[in-house]
Structure 1
Amino acid sequence: MKEIVPKEKMPDADIDAVSGISSVPQMLEVICRTTGMGIAVVARVTKERWVACAARDELSIGLLPGRELNLDDTICSELDTCETAVAIEDADREENAEWCRKMARRGFKSYIAVPIRYKNGHFFGSLCAIDFKPAQLNKPELVEMFRLFAELIGFHLDAHERLQRTEQQLRAEQRIAKRRDQFIAILGHDLRNPLSAIISSAQLMERTGLDERGYRLVKNIQDSSFRMRGLIDNILDFAKGQLGSGLSLNQQIIEDAGTIVRQVLKEVKTIWPERQLKLSCAPELHLYGDAVCLSQIFSNLISNAVLHGDEYAPIEIAALKQHGHFLFSVSNRGKRIPTKIMKTLFEPFLRGDNKKEGQGLGLGLFIAYEIARGHSGKISASSDEDKTTFLFSMPLIDKESIAHPMK
């Protein structure tokens, strides 16, 4: 068989795909036993090449996986247009002169083959058997066996191709995710550093004995910086959540959530010292969660009340426990939230109809909602003509968990 060429020229991917079908060796053995023929092959056939992807060579002619034959000397090259099997029991009695010429070139007498197709009908190659002696091949049950084997191989090849595409897409997504995370980290650094410098400078200026006008300017700087910091945090959290990496939670035992609430309240009072913030806080509010993210919920809900509520009415804040749950509520006087807005209140970039300057991007409630979900909690809202209330709840942990921390 002088037409056999070196293995390095074969299409590795097709051979790997066929070799991954564990039942192919058994199929080829059954074909040889059933037909009495010495060679059975699964071949990849294209317009340019014939390559053995799997072979059973009982005649020891060197037809191994990866070996290639001259396409013009094979009958398999014609199977793409065939709907049924090609069976030649004895080349000396075959009426097709071209097939006889191809068989005679190597001294073969018998040949049978069926096309292998993908699920979409595209031609892959052939399942064939060949021998130097005649064979009885025109048997319906034999042809049906070949057809079923070819159909099974085609099914596995189709599944393998889909898996390969999925793995390629996954690798591409992983590369994109890595670049995205790097971008978010750099963006956060480049945005937060200058802002931290502005906040620190404003705090230093506040201590230098300013007159009334200077004091107002410093407060404006602090107010704007506070809103800018919130916008940056919300944008970065939204980007992480929406673009795939998700909100990162560093959950630990929190011995008293009331401490976090009071700290957030202190920060808010620094920005809006004229607003009345009334807190009712229960003792020993034991939680398991991310203290930074939980403080973001408290800050977002309180800031939302400050921005949207009646500026002359007090804002009522409560941190309580009830039926094994931590309850954090913020209530403010002001206009009732319209019903159509209530339906989309926790969706991103939706801010309602009454937009105030500097109000933000509409991400605060969405981020708070996602953080709540990450803590097995939830946020709800109610609004009427009297007041608007936002309620955040999540499970408490007992004193036993404090004494024996989770590992």
Structure 2
Amino acid sequence: MTEDFAADVAAIGSIPIMPTVLDTVCRLSGMRFAAVARVTEDRWIACAIRDEIAFGLAPGGELPIESTLCHEVRLATTRVVIDDVVAHPVYCSHHTPATYGFRSYISVPVRRADGSVFGTLCAIDPEPRRLDVPEIVGMFEMFADLIGQHLAALERTVASEATLLDAQRVAALREQFIAVLGHDLRNPLAAIDGGMRLLRKTPLDDQALRLITLVQASVGRMSGLIDNLVDFARCRLGDGLLLEREHVEIETLLRQIASELQVDRPDRIVDIACRLDAPVTCDRRRMAQLVSNLLGNALTHGAANRPVRVSAWAEGGWFELSVANAGEPIPPGMLPGLFQPFVRGPQGPRGEGLGLGLYIAQQIAEAHGGIIEATSTPAETRFTLRMPLPE
């Protein structure tokens, strides 16, 4: 038996009601051998068997296709019913009854979802049986349809699983590519940044200094995009974000990030207010990345003539950080999926970003045991980080 037909035998064997179907058709018809067979142009293969006459066939066993009547059922795609072959005008001299020693026979086609014939539900008995009546024929056809429906459901499940597996493989390759790409982009970016630092040490006019400042600001943004790409791939590939916790002066960190982001936005105002009695225990680099993503998002999408307000405070064992900006509110329909990867809000004047900033920020928050929530009204759009403080 080939691999393909082994799968067909296994498919029929996996149908939970199969033993009950064969038992029922035998009991109600009086037949003592029943089978579901896979029938092709040149093969007859037993998939499920109920045998009370010691016929000697088991699932996976074969009969020569030319020795069966199921071949004719497959070709005609209709049933064959014989109460007593001796009295039957067509099959009384047929070689099949003589070969297998039966006098009564019934076979109905089992069809796939597309209408093609998978095989048959058939039964034989050495004695004559009253089969050609609506009750018996209807029962066999009903069970044949039921088997076909189970096969169709199984095929849909297998197809869905194959599609899902393919999608998972493609996603894994894509994320591995992103990780490698992000890693390989760091070297030329570091070279550009190093070159700009060396140029700053040479005598330059004001225009050249401004150009260097713009290039370094672009390098900073590119570095942030690469960090987001690599972190996205790391999260999706299952490695997660690793934390190195330490005591961090949050206000100092906030002012440093704001200064860096204002290099190429000198006209933007960032108001920072903190109410912290002690350093916050967290991962300094990751917290800086979170703040940079939230603040950069606010500067990009917020009203250019209004300040961005950053607040941080700690009380009751919790740390909270909020970033708020004025401007057009986020459409309500976008809020539920705002932290999903590659989701981008209404574009600011630059139209920059990959749509990963908020996703990475949320992953950093979750790695710290916290969460980021977003609210947006005509008055302001606010992102708030809330996370527990280690005792």
1:287–1:174: structure 2 CA closer, same or farther, 3 Å change rule?
farther
- Which of 372, 377, 380 pairs up with 2:372? 377
Listed one character per residue, the Cα deviations across residues 22-78 of structure 1 (whole Å, up to 9, x for unaligned) are 332343344444444342111012233221111233333432222222333322223
Deviation at residue 320 of structure 1 after TM alignment: 3.4
Alpha-carbon distance change, 93 to 179 in structure 1, aligned in 2, over 3 angstroms: same
Which residue is equivalent to 1:129?
Answer: 123
Taking the aligned partners of 1:372 and 1:378, their CA distance within structure 2 comes to 13
Deviates further, 18-27 or 161-170: 18-27
What pairs with 1:4-403 in structure 2 (closer than 5 Å)?
7=1, 11-80=5-74, 85-97=79-91, 100-206=94-200, 208=201, 210-213=203-206, 215-234=209-228, 245=236, 250=241, 259-260=249-250, 262-270=252-260, 272=262, 274=266, 277-283=270-276, 294-304=287-297, 306=299, 315-320=308-313, 326-331=320-325, 337-338=327-328, 348=343, 352=347, 355-356=349-350, 360-361=352-353, 363=355, 367=359, 375-382=370-377, 389-397=380-388, 402-403=390-391
Q: Distance in 2 between matches of 1:316 and 1:180?
A: 37
Q: Is the 8 A contact 2:322 2:384 kept in 1?
A: yes
Sequence identity, in percent? 33
Shift of 1:125: 1.4
Q: Structure 1 pair 279/210, CA: closer, same or farther in 2 (3 Å)?
A: farther
Amino acid of the residue matched to residue 152 of structure 2?
A: D
SS in 2 for 1:11: helix
Q: CA offset at residue 18 of structure 1?
A: 0.9
Instruction: Tell which deviates more after alignment, 137-146 or 35-44.
Output: 137-146
The alpha carbon displacement at 1:99 in A equals: 7.8
Residue-by-residue CA offset, 1:125-150 (whole Å, 9 max, x unaligned): 11111123322323444334323332
Q: TM-score with structure 2 length normalisation? A: 0.77
Q: How many residues align?
A: 378
What is the Cα deviation at residue 100 of structure 1? 3.5
Shift of 1:201: 4.0
Q: Distance in 2 between matches of 1:196 and 1:81?
A: 72
Secondary structure of the structure 1 residue equivalent to 2:212: helix
CA shift, 1:313, in A, is 7.4
Structure 1 residues 98 and 215, CA, compared in 2 at 3 Å: closer, same or farther?
Answer: farther
- Counterpart position of 1:4: none
State the Cα distance separating 1:319 from its structure 2 match: 1.8
- State the alpha-carbon separation in 2 of the partners of residues 309 and 136 from structure 1: 84
Cα gap change, 1:196/1:165 in structure 2, threshold over 3 Å: closer, same or farther? same
TM-score w.r.t. the length of structure 1 is 0.74
Contact 1:52 1:68 in 2 (8 A): yes
Q: Any idea what SS the aligned residue of 1:329 has? A: strand
